[in-house]
Amino acid sequence: MSSLVHQFSHEDLLRNRDDIAAGKLWQFPGGIHPPQRKELANKTAIRRLPPPPRLLIPFKQHIGQPGTVLVQEGDHVLKGQPLTAPGPNSGLPVHAPTSGRIKRIGEHPSAHPSALPVSTIELLSDGEDEWTEKHPIADYTALSSSELIALIAEAGIAGLGGAAFPTAQKLAADGQLDYLIINGVECEPYIVSDDRLMREHAAGIVRGIRILQHISGVKNVLIAIEDNKPEAIRAMQDACSGTESLAVRIVPTRYPSGGERQLIQLLTGREVPANGLPKDVGLLMQNVGTAYAVYRAIILGEPLLERVITLTGEALQQPGTVWAMLGTPVDTLLKQAGYVPYPNARVIMGGPMMGFTLPTLDVPIVKGSNCILAPAKRELPASTTEMACIRCGACADVCPASLLPQQLYWLARDHDHDGLREHHLADCIECGACAYVCPSEIPLVHYYRQAKADMREQYIEKQKAEIAKERFEARKARLEREKQERLERHERAAEARKRALAEREAKAAETAPASGTETTGEPSKPANDRVAAAIARAKAKKAEQQKAAQATENPEGQANAKPEAQTESSNSAEALKASPDDVSQTAPGSDPENDKKARIAAAVARAKAKKAAQQGSD
Amino acid sequence: MSMVAGIIALAVLALAFGLLLGFAAVRFRVEKDPIVEQIDSLLPQTQCGQCGYPGCRPYAEAIANGDDINKCPPGGQSTIEQLADLMGREAKPLDDAHGVEDVKKVAYIREDECIGCTKCIQACPVDAILGATKQMHTVIADECTGCDLCVEPCPVDCIDMIELQQGPERWKWDLEQIPVTQLATEVKS
């Protein structure tokens, strides 16, 4: 609540709370009054359709990380069975909306303006709609907040107002809260999903609100509904009667009063800071649909499998609202509503202000969808004639975030990211009010979206470059270090060699007199040394005899060898003694193969003799 | 006499300022040319060497010493413009001699064919390839800068440069590519 303290002095805060309690309404800047067109779809009750034959369930239907898939192609799944395990950082699972067989797990166009493919599970319904085991909680008050939050996450509930932010994550954020605001404003033209839900399921919504109240520990709840929904207001007032902590607030119809920040300003006069969250000003906001989903998850034990979708527009013969299973393809829903296609027809996901034209109809309903709008040819003509900005400033008058849309437009066209940041592009909620009033029909919001995407991309690239640089430098440092280490090792080895050589020389100098006397009769040699040398000699001789048995010996070689051996100079007496037999084999005329073998044997013997001698001298 | 006094006074002043400057030169010495840092931070850090220098930093140093700013294909035109801004030079089109601007790619090792020679590991400037002698190698896609340097040394040609998959999250609202129609600016009933 630090921002709250910053915004208000203590007395002001108390007065502010009194004002809120008294039902005072504030104003948010800007806003527009587009034709409502809600009567198209809000006349009939929410229809329940049979399970569609084919469901397309994307892994990720919320803001955050996708989960890992738990099923395999060909598996039979039951209604309500989790299909993915929740991903990291408060990721949410998705569930099988009906029973059936997993046909395919792979890429499929997404319910996104780009329709780029995303990982999707294709489920073929078996028509049985058979439930897996449900775990209803009879008395939720017996559970702690964290247990309930875990259950809500397990049920896969994301904000059903449209942003699809994980509800559990929103609830888990700590902070002292003044009010829980339940958003039933539904300010966008055409959309009547929340309207119908409040009319028909007010009691369930209120029970959901009580659970949310229990979890967040907030005493007071404000339920905001626009004054163009009298039936919903009445239904909610009836459901809330007798519960003092719940108050229904009727807000004037003005777009975009249903925006989180706008509604907060409208109901409490508080302003959420630019990079902050509602909890920074002591508030928590949930959509009515989310409250109802929480009720179903906790009290009925049903995960989030379906949501209310408004099917509207004059190209539909039976517009209305339906309970659509998550994953129902848009064309299946349109067929149910009697869609009459025409050349160059557009189908919009979402409302006329914030929705987007679907590039293909084979995309699924996801947790964040709320409306499918199929306008007739003349109903919502696409603007084609973008003209120059005349700096009339009409957009600045209607901007609910008090930004300067025309300035942002120029900066976006100029790719001036610093300028865009200075003009707080990040605070733009993309409500489309500026584009609605623009006399030059400039698609302003698209410029902002592109600029935002560009800035995000650049930010990501910058991060990546930073990491790459770090890794490159770490590698360079490592190679340098390894080189240094290698050099040091070589130096050490060279030194060791030098030392060993010096030692050996010293020893040779010591034994030099001994070798000198050896020829005369080796009196100074220690006894065991001589024994070792003798053994070695014997061994060498034996090896040679073996060789001799294999091949004929050249007697001449023997004869020649002796003088050679005598002339051979060696500073080791032992080697000298072992050598005669060895050298004899090198004599010319001997069989080359035997020669080689004998040489090896002799070398081995010599080495052994040397070793023995060394041991002896040690 | 007055001339001597003047000379002495000037000499003293010169000495004093000389000392001051000398002190400042030592005390406030700038370790490195900061312009190199600034240039380096604009470069994409792929360390690909397409500019002819062994990495981004050497190229940054070369630019600081007057080399052309249009030798970095991974950075493309936007980097050239940023460099032109920083250096106060004319932005030129990318020099074809050093390659052309391409889509973002990552290296991919066909793991069945990898013989475990570690040659690519040694070539990777950012240590993004994982493996050991006679063990299969693999690329850490998130760390790969797409520099292409591992492709050449592979004796069995098992490394492909594949285009980076773009998800909806990073889609750039490209009005030219996908027909997104601006929604109603006026509702006619």
Give the closest residue to B75 by CA, choosing from B96, B101, B36. Answer: B101
**Average pLDDT of span A505-530:** 63
| Chain A residue at shortest CA distance from B81 | A415
What is the per-residue pLDDT for A550?
A: 67
Print the domain residue range for A418: 394-449
Q: What is the CATH number of the domain that holds A169?
A: 3.40.50.11540
* Chain B residue set in contact with A, beta carbons under 8 Å: 40, 43-47, 55-56, 125-128, 143, 145, 166-168, 170-175, 178-189
Residue A255 has pLDDT above 60, yes or no: yes
Residue A309, domain member (yes or no)? no
CB contact (8 A) between residue A114 and residue B171:
yes
* pLDDT at residue A527, as a whole number: 56
More confident of the two residues A490 and A557: A490
Q: Which of A60, A116, A314 should be substituted to probe chain B, the one whose Cβ sees the most B Cβ atoms within 10 Å?
A: A116
**pLDDT of amino acid A542:** 81
Residue in the structure block whose two tokens are 């001589």: A530
Percent of chain A with pLDDT over 90: 63
User: Is residue A369 included in any domain, yes or no?
Assistant: no
Binned at pLDDT 50, 70 and 90, residue A560 comes out as very low
**Tell me: the pLDDT tens digits for B7-27?**
999 999 999 999 999 999 888
Any domain includes A81: no
Reply yes or no on whether the pLDDT at A254 is more than 90.
Answer: yes
Q: Taking Cα atoms as reference points, which of A589, A61, A40 lies closest to residue A367?
A: A61
Of A575 and A205, more confident = A205
A163 lies in the same domain as A26: yes
A194 beta partners: none
For A116, the closest of B166, B180, B188 (CB atoms) is: B166
Q: Which is more confident, A441 or B100?
A: A441
**∠ Cα A324 A329 A335 (to 5°):** 80
> What is d(CA A15, CA B76) in angstroms, rounded to the nearest whole number?
58
pLDDT at residue A524 is higher than 70? no
Q: What is the DSSP string of A397-441?
A: HH-TT---HHHHHHHHHTT-HHHHHHTTGGG-----HHHHH-TT-
Q: In this model, does residue A350 exceed pLDDT 90?
A: yes
A vs B: CB pairs below 8 A: 117
Tell me which chain B residues have a C-beta less than 8 angstroms from the C-beta of A37: 187, 189
Read off the pLDDT band of B49 (50, 70, 90): confident
Angle at the Cα of B89 from the Cα atoms of B86 and B90, rounded to 5 degrees: 125
Task: Say whether A35 and B170 touch across the interface (CB within 8 A).
Answer: no
A37, A453, A475: residue with CB nearest B173 = A453
Contact B185 A435 (CB under 8 A): yes
Q: Do B173 and A465 touch (CB under 8 A)?
A: no
Judging contacts by C-beta atoms under 8 Å, the chain B residues touching residue A113 are: 171, 173, 178, 180
Residues of B in contact with A482 (CB under 8 A): none
Quick check: A475 and B40 CB within 8 A? Answer: no
Nearest beta carbon to residue A471 from set B143, B170, B188: B143
The residue-averaged pLDDT of A491-515 equals 86
Q: Which ipTM value was assigned to this complex? A: 0.77
* CATH architecture of the domain formed by B34-98: Orthogonal Bundle (1.10)
Average pLDDT of chain A is 86
Residues in Cβ contact with A529 at an 8 Å cutoff, skipping those fewer than 6 apart: A574, A613, A616, A617
Residues linked to residue A340 through DSSP beta bridges, in sequence order: none
Query: Band of the pLDDT at A236, cuts 50, 70, 90?
Result: very high
Q: What is the pLDDT of residues A29-45, one digit of tens each?
A: 999 999 999 999 999 99
Q: Tell me, yes or no, whether A564 and A432 share the same domain.
A: no
Closest residue in B to A64 (Cα–Cα): B169
Mean pLDDT over residues A48-70, rounded? 91
Work out the number of other CB atoms within 10 angstroms of the CB of residue A3.
Answer: 17
| pLDDT at residue number A526 | 55
Q: Is residue A123 part of a domain?
A: no
DSSP state of A1: -
Q: Which residues, at least 6 apart from A603, have a Cβ–Cβ distance to it below 8 Å?
A: A582
**Beta A306-312 vs A371-373: how paired, if at all?**
parallel
At A458-483, the pLDDT tens digits run: 898 889 889 998 999 899 999 999 99
Indicate if the pLDDT at residue A292 is higher than 70.
Answer: yes
> How many domains in chain A?
3
Question: Is position A202 within any domain?
Answer: yes
**pLDDT over 90 (residue A377):** no
pLDDT on residue A3: 61
Token pair for A39: 């009567």
Q: What is the pLDDT of residue A533?
A: 80
Domain edge (last residue) among A244, A268, A301: A301
Residues comprising chain A, all counted = 618
Mean pLDDT value of segment A10-20:
88
Nearest-Cα residue of chain B relative to residue A35: B187
Q: Are A411 and A546 contained in the same domain?
A: no
- For A436, the token pair is 């609605």
Q: Which of B106, B150, B177, B187 to mutate to test the interface with A (most CBs of A within 10 A)?
A: B187
Answer whether residue A346 is part of any domain. no
DSSP characters over B13-64: HHHHHHHHHHHHHHHT--SS-HHHHHHHHHS------TTSSSSHHHHHHHHH
The pLDDT of residue A591 is 58
Structural domain B103-166, CATH architecture: 2-Layer Sandwich (3.30)
Which of A115, A435, A475 minimises the CB distance to B126?
A475
Tell me how long chain B is: 189
pLDDT band at A28 (very low <50, low <70, confident <90, very high): very high
Predicted local confidence at residue A448, as pLDDT: 94
Using one digit for the tens of pLDDT, what is the confidence trace for A409-449?
A: 999 999 899 999 999 999 999 999 999 999 998 999 999 99
Residues A555 and A421 in one domain: no
CA distance B25 to chain A (A): 30
Asked if residue A489 is part of any domain, the answer here is no
Q: Do A472 and B47 touch (CB under 8 A)?
A: yes
Beta-bridged to residue A47, according to DSSP, are: A322
Of B126, B167, B181, the CB nearest to A382: B181
- The larger pLDDT score, comparing residue B133 to residue A606, is at B133
Q: What is the pTM of this model?
A: 0.76
Instruction: Name beta bridge partners: A284.
Output: A180
B183–A348 C-beta distance less than 8 A: yes
Same domain, A176 and A286: yes
Residue A371 backbone dihedrals phi, psi, to 5 degrees: -155, 145
- Annotated binding-site positions of B for [4Fe-4S] cluster: 48, 51, 56, 72, 114, 117, 120, 124, 144, 147, 150, 154
Residue indicated by tokens 């339920």? A223
Nearest to A471 among B44, B127, B167 (CB): B127
Question: Which residues in chain B are contacts of A443 at CB distance < 8 A?
Answer: 182
pLDDT tier, A362 (very low <50, low <70, confident <90, very high otherwise): very high
Look at residues A412, A431, A449 and tell me which one is the last residue of a structural domain: A449
Alpha helix ranges (H) inside chain B: 2-27, 34-42, 56-64, 76-87, 119-123
**Cβ-nearest to B46 among A115, A116, A468:** A468
Q: Name the minimum distance, in Å, from the CA of B144 to any CA of chain A.
A: 8
Q: Which of A266, A301, A336 marks a domain boundary?
A: A301
Cβ density class A295-323: b for 16+ within 10 Å, e for less = bbbbbebbbbbbbbbbbbbbbbeebbbbe
CB contact under 8 A, B40 and A469: yes
Beta-carbon separation of B171 and A113 below 8 A: yes
